[in-house]
Amino acid sequence: MDYSVLGSNILKNIGGENNVQDLIHCATRLRFTLKNHSLANKEEVEELDGVITVVESGGQFQVVIGNNVGYVFDAIMAMTGLGTATQSNTEENQDKGNLFDRFVDMISGIFSPILGLLAGSGVLKGLLALGVSLGMNAKDGTYIILNAAADSMFYFLPIILAVSAARKFKANQYIAIALAGSLVYPAIVTAYTEGTKLTFLGIPVILSQYSSTVIPAILAIWVMSKLQHFFEAKFHESVRNLLTPFLCLVIMVPLTLLVVGPVSTYASGLLASCYLWIYNVSPLISGAVMGAGWQIFVIFGLHWGFVPVMLNNISAFHRDTLGAMVGPAVAAQTGAALGVFFKTHKTKMKGLSLSAFISGLFGITEPAVYGVNLKLKRPFIIGIISGGIGGAIAGASGAAALAVATRSILTIPVYMGHGFLGYVVGYFGAMLLALTLTLIFGVEEQDSDKENISEETTLIKKDTLLSPVSGQVKPLSTVNDPTFSSGAMGAGFSVDPSEDAIYAPADAEVTMLFPTKHAIGLRTDSGAEILIHIGIDTVKLNGEGFAALVKTGDHVKRGEKLIEFDRKKIRDQGFDSTVVVVVTNTDSYLDILNQHENEDVETGKEVLSLMI
């Protein structure tokens, strides 16, 4: 796959680079913060080859890519100036969503960049815990060095969070690092551990343990960002770079230790107490609710609200029961995907479900959820039920994570300790239950269509598409638009039209009609997903010269007129009038053959053969 082409097509369909305020990515998603959401075409992005789905949640336009998200992110950053955005445009471009959306956007923006490091450190801590239980000497140099590698992430968490928080709040990252560093400065840490009383200008300082904490650093850097922007607006450029860092540190370090730190420490304790109260009411019910609801939270982006709770639990209690309760939810969706692999008769779904199962074993469930289980509905529901049962087992056993980590087979050692057996039973039990129930109840008939293929004979069927317009048929590679000519959208053909109307190439349902009427999406009765695009860049005509005769949801017969357009007006405006026909679900077919390449055809002439 050409990740540059995919990245370019995504940008094109979300309003371009100028409509992007911010872009980050997590393990599977590109997370765009857009200036104007109305400019984004969700349906068009979802149709791109390489995109699993699109989720709009928490004020973000989230494009689910899967395991290759890092490559697409790098391609987008390489072709744009998004990585060098200035701080000065923050306020005027800031998304004015509701308070909850802004909170979710803030949390995901701060924690997404460090999730990989959190997971890796958590795995190493779990393996070291396993090693000690098997007789590894905790005073040995090997253990000490590896423990330093695993624990430094958590000990210096305020400093690490400072980087992503500064980026999110558009503050100077280096000032933020210095500010967060003061929270874990050796003299301050020693004063706390030895009970030494400190004062600042005669004011008593309430010392606390800030290593591994989350809220103090984030709150301090948010306040600092406001102060920094104020100073930058007031100072002349000749002294701005000197006085702004100086005053930010002189004001914010004492203010953090005197006010922000104690207040946020109290808030952290309150958050921990509230969670502990809910958990103590009934660990079993808590586990069932979290296990069943976790993947639903993930779909809507609500799971980010629990990340600070998990980190706070580790800081306050040195163990996190919440992470243990949601592990079975991940395992259940993974098991359901494996069940689909064994149950489905469709070659494409077999490949997709097996790939999703493997990703799920390593804690990445988006391919399983969006690519398999949600599409088939029943496996997703089975995953929810199984996750709830597994979560209840983990919750009732008192299982807990010793570090924040993703839920995967690699991170199982992170849950060693009290309740470890319960976690293992809950995790693998949920996976096995989801697998079994999927095998028993199967998938919906429309999704597991019996293809009547015998073991001895492979039957190849042929479906056909007619030309939707008269003119000269040409290969897609000749189209003056890389979106189509690269094949990224799928196989198909183009026509240099000799008439001003588009007709249905098959019996089909109208699945999408662009507001500008220059493109229409169809799903044929046999399952082919077709995009007919009239002209190149004709979206810029804003519908001028186009008239739709059908609407989304209509069922049309082959040869029925769909759209009228004015070739002369399109060409007079300087646009290419080429009509492009693409089979966007090309992967569903063994082969797609163009029967009349570089020939003149009449409307209704058979052009494409789709080999099933």
Give me the residue spans of the domains in the chain.
3-97, 156-280, 282-441, 462-611
pLDDT for 506 equals 92
Q: State the pLDDT at residue 10.
A: 93
The pLDDT of residue 99 is: 66
Are 291 and 329 in contact by the 8 Å Cβ rule? The answer is yes
Amino acid 512: pLDDT:
87
- pLDDT score of 497 more than 60: yes
In this prediction, residue 252 carries a pLDDT of 92
Question: For residue range 560-577, what is the model confidence (pLDDT) as tens digits?
Answer: 999 999 999 999 988 999
User: So what CATH class is 3-97?
Assistant: alpha beta
Cα pseudo-dihedral 415, 416, 417, 422, rounded to 10:
70
| pLDDT confidence of residue 491 | 87
* pLDDT, mean of residues 426-452: 75
Active site residues: 26
Over residues 114-163, the pLDDT tens digits come to 767 776 777 787 788 778 878 888 888 998 999 899 888 878 989 999 99
Strand (E) or helix (H) holding 24: strand 20-25
Say yes or no to pLDDT of 88 above 50: no
pLDDT at 174 over 50: yes
**pLDDT category, 304, cuts 50, 70, 90?**
low
Residue 250, pLDDT score: 94
Q: Quick one: tokens of 415?
A: 């849950």
Q: What is the pLDDT of residue 394?
A: 93
Which candidate, 106, 107, 112, 83, places its Cα nearest to that of 94? 106
Q: How far is CA 19 from CA 28, 55, 73, 300, in A?
A: 22, 18, 16, 23
What pLDDT score was predicted for residue 301? Answer: 57
pLDDT of 449: 43
Find the mean pLDDT for residues 502-519.
90
- Average pLDDT for residues 213-228, to the nearest whole number? 89
Answer for the pair 495, 476: CB distance below 8 angstroms, yes or no: no
Q: Do domains 3-97 and 462-611 have the same CATH topology?
A: no
Concatenated DSSP letters for 112-163? GGGHHHHHHHHHHHHHHHHHHHTT--TTSHHHHHHHHHHHHHHHTHHHHHHH
Alpha-carbon distance 180 to 546, whole Å?
58
Supply the pLDDT for residue 168. Answer: 85
Work out the percent of the chain whose per-residue pLDDT is above 90. 31
What is the pLDDT at residue 95? 47
Between CA 207 and CA 192 the distance in angstroms is 6
> Over 70: is that where the pLDDT of 172 sits?
yes
pLDDT above 70 covers a percentage of the chain that reads 89
Average pLDDT, the chain: 83
Quote the pLDDT of residue 548. 93
pLDDT, average across residues 508-518: 88
Q: Domain spanning 462-611 has what CATH number?
A: 2.70.70.10
CA 336, 339, 341, 343 dihedral sign is negative
* Most confident region among 229-238, 314-323, 364-373, 441-450 by mean pLDDT: 229-238
pLDDT band at 178 (very low <50, low <70, confident <90, very high): very high
Q: Which pLDDT value is given to residue 91?
A: 44
Give CA–CA dist 284/587, Å, rounded. Answer: 44
Give the pLDDT confidence score for residue 280 in this predicted structure: 84
Query: Does residue 153 or residue 182 have the better pLDDT?
Result: 182
Has residue 214 got a pLDDT over 50? yes
What is the arrangement of strands in the sheet containing 471-474, beginning at the earlier edge strand? 555-556, 508-513, 519-524, 529-534, 579-583, 491-497, 471-474, 600-601
Q: Please report which confidence band the pLDDT of residue 391 belongs to, taking 50, 70 and 90 as the band edges.
A: very high
Q: Is the pLDDT of residue 290 over 50?
A: yes
Average pLDDT on 237-247 reads 89
Task: Rank 59-68, 244-253, 306-315, 412-421 by mean pLDDT and report only the highest.
Answer: 244-253
Dihedrals φ, ψ of 582, to 5°?
A: -130, 135
**Tokens standing for residue 50:** 């390489």
